[in-house]
């Protein structure tokens, strides 16, 4: 539940932040930094030494931030559930993820397993590399479980593209890629509306969501501030420090599952 929720969050929203280099002190910088003071009574001495959390503000949309127009942040991602965390939200970025003009996504072979392509820009040398994946959303590297979701769906796209190529040998790479992408997007929507949301909303699902009545072009699909910055943050409360203590399971079981998906060991 938690992992799918995070995966979907990165499909719908990503906030542009002001450069963190502007936040050099524990004093606020108008329009750019809102530091959070750490209490002198904080029991963690190492944490207390920092004196504050230096937090960058989100970048404002041009023309907002005045008495006449309240400040609004920019959403870098498409708000639609369309797999943008896999394919990106801009056609200009697509070359980073697509394998040339073929119908396939780029992948690297590691430990005889297919994983997301490594960001070779993070390599100081051939011997010194930071294991950082290139994906449609840069946050794919935040957490091993999230990386596993990205790997799974990249493999799923290539699996579907392979089957479509067998069935339609005359299709161009562009047609093959877009048809596979469309199917993967439909799979994501299916899991979201048929499995995830019914679990989250319970008996309220039919009242809040209701049956699908077809595409309505008059609906504004923009993600609201209230949803992305507040309501959907309930998922953070689903993270557990110790799965063993809460559920009776050893966290190593879950960690091993993710590592098996990524690295085969």
- For the annotated binding site for heme b, the residues are 236
Q: How far is CA 255 from CA 21, 108, 243, in A?
A: 34, 22, 11
- CA distances, 182 to each of 160, 175, 185, 195, 237 (Å): 10, 11, 5, 19, 32
120 given a catalytic annotation: no
Dihedrals phi, psi of 69, to nearest 5 degrees: -140, 100
The Cα–Cα gap between 134 and 93 comes to 11
Binding-site residues, in ranges, read 236
Instruction: Catalytic residue, from 10, 120, 150, 157: name it.
Output: 10
> What sign for the dihedral angle of Cα 215, 220, 221, 227?
negative
Backbone phi and psi for residue 206, each to the nearest 5 degrees, phi listed first: -70, -30
Longest dimension (CA), the chain: 70
The DSSP bridge partners found for residue 33 are: 29, 56
E runs forming strands in 8-120: 36-37, 52-53, 108-110, 113-115
The number of beta carbons lying within 10 Å of the beta carbon of residue 84 is 23
Residue 124: burial class (beta carbons within 10 Å; 0-12, 13-18, 19+) = exposed
Annotated active-site positions, please? 10
């Amino acid at each position: 539940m938690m992992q799918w929720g995070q995966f979907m969050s990165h499909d719908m929203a990503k906030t542009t932040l002001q450069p963190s280099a502007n936040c050099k002190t524990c004093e606020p910088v108008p329009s750019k930094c809102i530091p959070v003071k750490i209490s002198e009574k904080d029991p963690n001495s190492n944490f207390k030494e920092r004196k504050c959390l230096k937090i960058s503000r989100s970048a404002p949309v041009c023309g907002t931030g005045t008495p006449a127009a309240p400040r609004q942040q920019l959403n870098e991602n498409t708000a639609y559930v369309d797999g943008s965390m896999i394919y990106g939200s801009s056609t200009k970025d697509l070359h980073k993820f697509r394998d040339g003009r073929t119908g396939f996504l780029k992948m690297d072979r590691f430990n005889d397993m297919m994983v997301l392509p490594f960001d070779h820009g993070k390599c100081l040398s051939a011997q010194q590399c930071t294991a950082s994946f290139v994906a449609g959303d840069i946050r794919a590297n935040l957490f091993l479980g999230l990386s596993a979701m990205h790997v799974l769906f990249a493999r799923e796209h290539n699996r579907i593209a392979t089957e479509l190529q067998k069935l339609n040998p005359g299709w161009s790479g562009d047609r093959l890629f877009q048809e596979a992408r469309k199917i993967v997007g439909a799979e994501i929507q299916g899991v979201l509306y048929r499995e995830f949301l019914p679990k989250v909303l319970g008996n309220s699902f039919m009242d809040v969501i209701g049956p699908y009545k077809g595409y309505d072009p008059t609906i504004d699909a923009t993600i609201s501030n209230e949803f992305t910055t507040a309501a959907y943050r309930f998922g953070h409360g689903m993270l557990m420090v110790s799965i063993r203590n809460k559920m009776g399971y050893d966290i190593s079981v879950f960690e091993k599952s993710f590592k098996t998906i990524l690295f085969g060991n």
